[in-house]
Amino acid sequence: MTLAEFIARLPKGDLWVFGYGSLMWSPCFGYAQKALGRAHGYHRALCILSTRYRGTRAKPGLVMGLCQGGSCWGMAYRIDAQRARRALARLWEREMNRRVYAPRLIPVRLPGGRMVRALAFIADPEHPAYVGELDLHGRARLVAQGIGARGPCVDYISKTLEHMHEVGVRDPHLERILHAALALRQNGGHDSAAMACAPAPSAARQPAARAPRALLRRAARRPRRAAARR
């Protein structure tokens, strides 16, 4: 889908955008409101090979996508209608250059129970860069080796987790991948050492994250405008 085609299908009014990875801590657009939100019907996963921002063709990294099933905590941004086209152009340049994502309006619940339809970038399981069946340590190896135009893949995941922790959200599965990747880097890429250092993965593939109600109320009370940062 082209940007023009997507804009033509959008309802009139303000635009909501749902960030679940780097958009949580480094949005590329200005916004009028920011709030913790929960997307329904999708979960966060490390499932996209990165050959530019967090890796190279020779040594790809691994970045996040939304996959069907479950739910996902993230940041919801409201963009004024008059600024939506410019924000979308920036998002398209950042997220859609390889067409590994499908742009969708998905239901997101905001603090207080309000539901909005927000733009999110859904992983395309048919794309060659999509990583399907791969265990925790296979993903950790990709994270450990990936270094691209925006820096190491481990930094990308660390910053995402730090932001999640600040708002009271945990993702034990993602934390285990990061711990294993850091252990691999410290031990020169030897899997046995990394497995010894990393916590054992839980039985659940991706445990559901929960955010305290107090933080949801706080997010609702303190919307703000922020400048775009890359």
Spatial contact of 162 and 168, defined as CB atoms under 8 Å apart: no
Q: Please compute the mean of the pLDDT values over residues 81-86 and round it to a whole number.
A: 95
Of 2, 228, 11, which is closest to residue 103 (Cα–Cα)? 2
- For residue 209, the Cα-to-chain-centroid distance in whole angstroms is 14
The confidence score (pLDDT) of residue 187 equals 87
* 171 backbone dihedrals φ, ψ, rounded to 5°: -140, 85
What mean pLDDT is predicted for residues 16-31?
A: 95
Spatial distance between the Cα atoms of 215 and 46, rounded to a whole number of angstroms: 26
Predicted pLDDT at 44: 95
The backbone torsions φ and ψ at residue 229, rounded to the nearest 5 degrees and listed phi first, read -135, 140
What is the model's pLDDT at position 78? Answer: 98
Average pLDDT, the chain: 85
Q: Work out the number of other CB atoms within 10 angstroms of the CB of residue 65.
A: 27
Asked whether residue 192 carries a pLDDT value surpassing 90, the answer given is no
pLDDT at 7: 94
Q: Which residue has the higher pLDDT, 223 or 172?
A: 172
At 191, the pLDDT band (50, 70, 90 cuts) reads low
- Binned at pLDDT 50, 70 and 90, residue 198 comes out as very low
The pLDDT score that the predictor gives to residue 167 is 87
Confidence label for 203 from pLDDT (cuts 50, 70 and 90)? very low
- Pairing assessment for the beta strands 147-148 and 61-79 based on DSSP bridges: unpaired
Residue 227 — very low, low, confident or very high, per pLDDT cuts 50/70/90? very low
What are the phi and psi torsion angles at 20 (to 5°)?
-125, -5
Q: What is the tens place of the pLDDT at every residue in 165-179? A: 998 899 999 999 999
Q: What is the pLDDT of residues 105-147, one digit of tens each?
A: 999 999 999 999 999 999 999 999 999 889 999 999 999 999 9
Active-site residues, by number, are 95
